[in-house]
Amino acid sequence: MQASITRYNDRVNSLMPGAKIIKLIGYTRGNKDYQKAKRAALKWKDSKSLNDVEINDWIEQGGWIGAVIPEGRYLIDVDNELLGGLLKDLLEGENIHHHAIKTPKGYHFIFKESQKVTQYQGYINRLGIQTDSRKSEAGYEVFPTINTEGRFIVTESLEPLDEPPQYLYKVWNAQKTPSPMAYPYKTSGSRDGDFYDLARRLLTCGVSKKDTIESLELAYEYFVPYKDDFPLSAIKEKVESAYKKINEGNSSPTKRIINFEYREKDIGKNIVIPKPFKVSGNDTLFEEKVDKDGNVTKKLVSRKTPYITKEFNNIERPQVLYEIEWAEQKRIVKEVVPASTIAVKKELLELSEKGLSVNDNNVKKIITYFDQYLLINNICHHYAVERLGHIKDKFIHPLLSEDIEIMAIDYGEKQIIEGFKIRGTVDSWKKGVFEHIKQSPKAVIMVLASFASVIIKDLKVQPFIVDLSGTTSQGKTTTLKIAASVWGNDGLISEWNATKVSIERKASYLNSFPLFLDDTRKADERILKDVVYQFSGGRSKGRGSLKGSQREYTWNNILLSTGEVSLNEYAKNQGGAAARIIPLVDEPLPKSQDNIVKLYEGMENNYGAAGIGFLEIWMNHKKELISEYHKFRNYYIDKAKGNEVLNRLAGYYAAIHFTGSILKNKMGFEIDLKVIADLFDDIVSENKSTDKPMQFLEEILTDLDSSRQDIFYDYLPQVHKAIFKKGQLYLMPAYLTRFLGIEEKATRREWLKRGLTVGKQEKGSYVDYRQVKHKGKNFRVIPLNMEYVLELGFDFEELTVN
């Protein structure tokens, strides 16, 4: 029986991968109504996808199936068999990759989904054909089966699908104005007049002259069989004639052109206000209606008229945004909002906080106004990004990326953008700022890390942290300001007094530029520990939403941090923290008051230029320079001598040292690279966290040394942590579990491998535990190598009770 089942899931997936399959009423239970047959049998948005057994069973009952339009697919419906067939010939003739389904009344065409198209019903496209459309998750397709008479697949592309070509874009509402075209033109008929009317209509609705000519020439080639006395050159003549007429006819009753003298400079072109809306002289939006007797009535819609002046297409992901303007007491307010803002009541109402006159009473009217406004106005298109740094094959700097708009929708992002300023030159920054710190290696490391942040993605280095810690008033904040001056002013510096989410958002927005966070004592200790791990992963925490999962933020930069206590201490019970942080401890700057004063004077007059100078050199020479980085990395890996933590730090430190060599050799910076290299050895010797297993052992011995009453000598203690017998110290596994937590297994494995504990063979495995009998009781314990215990300065023999 299983062999006779038709595999409809495979058929659906070949056209619409991942589509949910639902039950449609079809001709079950005696239904004979075609329109009713296409309806869902259940609430299709809530129902689960059918399997092949369920599908075949439902079809046997006379039911139909529907395929919900999946993500990545877009459907255009031509509810006319003749016009659908003509459009099919055009798409095949122009080699547009698509799928096509023949329906009893017309054709359905399936394309790759595009951010440039929307869902609509009953609109005329640029070819003059009336169509409907369906976007992903917003509708379903009646899928052809053995009992859907007149419905079958006629075209299945073997190539990846194309997006809908622009000549299929909607233009105007067919319910208000039908198409003037009478395809196909098999005789001379009304070809001249119809093509002129279509050209005039397209131009009036904001389609460019070039796109109008392209659309009409395609219609001419595929939809006009009789071309006698109607040459191709006639198409351009019709378009030019319509274009000339429209420019002469700004007083035409089909539209009204509104000019505002105080806005001409900002807009740079005329605006078409859609009927039935009109704008008064003081920029108030009205709705004007004419009754059957010719009486005109006006109804106030909004005290302020909003205009859409720009459309932005996000180059990183499918997203459309609009710039909205309105007049506010002799000034122009500009807001950039996602496309959903002008279409969703709740989101549009939020603009009332910015001063737009929108409320519960008029919000639906304004949404209608925006929809019609976009239909008949030719909005300027721009590319945009919603963050900085590396975006696909481009690098975005707020002061260099003139052809791409940088979105800063939230106030915090606007503050970041405002921080990228330039004052002075590279040479004046070197003289006024860097000259005063070049003899201070730890301050130089912070500054080099600030430069290095923008290149670590090219070097394939993961995000990491440079942490400057020490007691109060040692110049930590000043050093952070110096590092920030590489790219801009103090506006780039944030405090640690922030939530994890806000730190994620800032890291993602900066993306490749360094994140500056000052003073760890102002932060919640739990946040500090989490941020260390989250930041170095380069991806925000996954979060759910009502519809699935929220978009995760990513970044590839360096975090420069300051505080009185090292970040390693906040995460000391988690071994991986040390492999994510380059720790710089104690005074970064000399205690010269005169030097500090000169530093602040230098930073006040010089910032931002050095970073741009470095960035330009890197972009021009990175192909030849990247190979040099690996020499530095190998040098520091040799210094790591197999230590896993130091091996990771080697890559980070090499990126900083490598950056110093570029600044020295390409930009003339006076940097003592040998001192930078030697500082790595100092960091290793000062930072016990780089040898986490040994650090854990020392911490455990310290704990036992301070609580010897918990060691079983002659009497079993109340809290049992260890046993001391005949000069040997044994650790209780339960104590290790409490002390080490999730690090227990990894730490014990490393101890055994390095001989810090005494192992033995047991059942073919080498283990770190054994059975010990002490004072008449048997215990499973972990024996320590007493040579290391003594080497660390601990002696537990003294309190042995005889």
Model pLDDT for residues 205-244, shown as the tens digit of each residue: 888 888 999 999 999 999 999 888 888 888 999 999 888 8
Reported confidence tier of residue 282, pLDDT bands at 50, 70, 90: confident
Tracing tokens 């690090």 back to the chain, one arrives at 743
pLDDT above 70 as % of the chain: 92
Model pLDDT for residues 321-363, shown as the tens digit of each residue: 898 999 887 788 888 888 999 999 999 999 998 889 999 999 9
CA torsion through residues 367, 372, 374, 375, sign? positive
| Residues 137, 71 contacting (CB under 8 angstroms) | yes
Whether the per-residue pLDDT at 64 is higher than 90: the answer is yes
Instruction: Output phi, psi for 595, to 5 deg.
Output: -65, -40
| Reduced 3-state DSSP string for 232-248 | CHHHHHHHHHHHHHHHH
**Average pLDDT for residues 283-298, to the nearest whole number?**
81
Give the distance from CA 175 to its chain's centroid: 39
For residue 153, what pLDDT is reported?
A: 93
Peptide bond into 184 cis (omega under 30): yes
Model pLDDT for residues 360-392, shown as the tens digit of each residue: 999 999 999 999 898 888 787 788 888 899 988
What crossing angle do the helices spanning 8-15 and 52-60 adopt, rounded to 10°?
A: 110
Peptide bond into 276 cis (omega under 30): yes
Q: Which residues contact 510 (CB under 8 A, 6 or more apart)?
A: 387, 388, 389, 416, 555, 557
Residue (of 87, 85, 127, 124) closest to 102 by Cα position: 85
Locate 135 and state its tokens.
Answer: 């976007």
| Residues 684, 694 contacting (CB under 8 angstroms) | no
Instruction: Output phi, psi for 378, to 5 deg.
Output: -90, 95
For residue 576, what pLDDT is reported?
A: 58
Model pLDDT for residues 735-775, shown as the tens digit of each residue: 999 998 888 898 899 899 889 999 998 888 899 999 999 99
Burial class (CB in 10 A: 0-12, 13-18, 19+), 638: exposed
Model pLDDT for residues 604-660, shown as the tens digit of each residue: 999 999 999 999 999 989 888 998 999 999 998 888 777 777 888 889 999 999 999
pLDDT above 90 as % of the chain: 46
Model pLDDT for residues 401-436, shown as the tens digit of each residue: 766 888 776 777 888 888 999 999 999 999 999 999
Using alpha carbons, list the distances in angstroms from residue 35 to 75, 77, 700.
Answer: 19, 16, 77
Task: Supply the DSSP string of 579-601, one letter for each residue.
Answer: GGEEEEES-SS---HHHHHHHHH
